[in-house]
Structure 1
Amino acid sequence: MGVCRAARNIGEFLADTVGEAVAEVVLGLLACLLLGCVVLLAYLSWSFDPRLTVAGAGFLSLLLAHGAWRTFRAPPNGRRRGLAALAATVFGAAAATALFLLLYATDCGCL
């Protein structure tokens, strides 16, 4: 009885360990793929038109700054509308992507 329980616990431990290792590899590959896509997008946009790339980066920076301001500054009635909601959503997505890349792309061998 004790041997069966010990074997089952060892099997569950091995399954969890292998699952975590596979998940770590998959997340690392996704981070490298995302980082490669960002670099490719920047390269292609710069080769297409450098002035438009700088203007787009400036617009994105303003949108992210407005989103951060609206996210960390509570609206009076608790709701966001229009551009404020869009900017807060874009800021949240950019922050989540940056955190994901910070955690998983640092171990990427492609850098």
Structure 2
Amino acid sequence: MGARRAAKRVGEFLIETVGEAVAEAILSLLACALLACLALIAYLSWSFSPRLTLAAAGLLSLSLAHGAWQIFRAPTKGHRRGFAALTVAGFTLTAMTAFFLLFYATGCACL
């Protein structure tokens, strides 16, 4: 009875280990693909119009700064509306993407 239970636990451990390795590989592949897409977007936009690319990067930076300011300032009464809600959502999405790339794209061999 003890050997059967031990074999079952070893099997579960192996399945869990292989599953984690596969999930890690998939997440690393997704991070490399996302990084490649961001680099392609930057390259294509720069080749189209460097001035427009810099203007768009400045506007994006301002909107992300506004979203960060809205998140980290003292809360006010009522809900965020309109542009403030949009910039907070944009900042949150950008921060989550940055953390995802920080954790999973560092092992990307394409760098």
Work out whether the TM-score is over 0.5: yes
TM-score of the superposition, structure 1-length normalised? 0.97
Matches of 2:101 and 2:45, distance apart in 1? 21
2:90 aligns with 90
Query: Quick check: 1:76 aligned with 2:69?
Result: no
1:12 aligns with 12
Matches of 2:19 and 2:93, distance apart in 1? 27
* Structure 1 stretches of at least 4 aligned residues deviating more than 6 Å after TM superposition: none
Runs of 5+ unmatched residues, structure 2: none
TM-score of the superposition, structure 2-length normalised? 0.97
Aligned residues: 111
Per the TM alignment, residue 77 of structure 1 is displaced from its structure 2 partner at its CA by: 1.6
Matches of 1:74 and 1:90, distance apart in 2? 19
Matches of 1:78 and 1:89, distance apart in 2? 17
Runs of 5+ unmatched residues, structure 1: none
The 5-angstrom pairing of residues 1-111 of structure 1 reads 1-111=1-111
Per the TM alignment, residue 75 of structure 1 is displaced from its structure 2 partner at its CA by: 3.1
Q: For 1:8, give the aligned amino acid.
A: K
Identity of aligned residues (%): 66
* RMSD of Structure 2 on Structure 1 (CA): 0.8
Q: For 2:69, give the aligned amino acid.
A: W
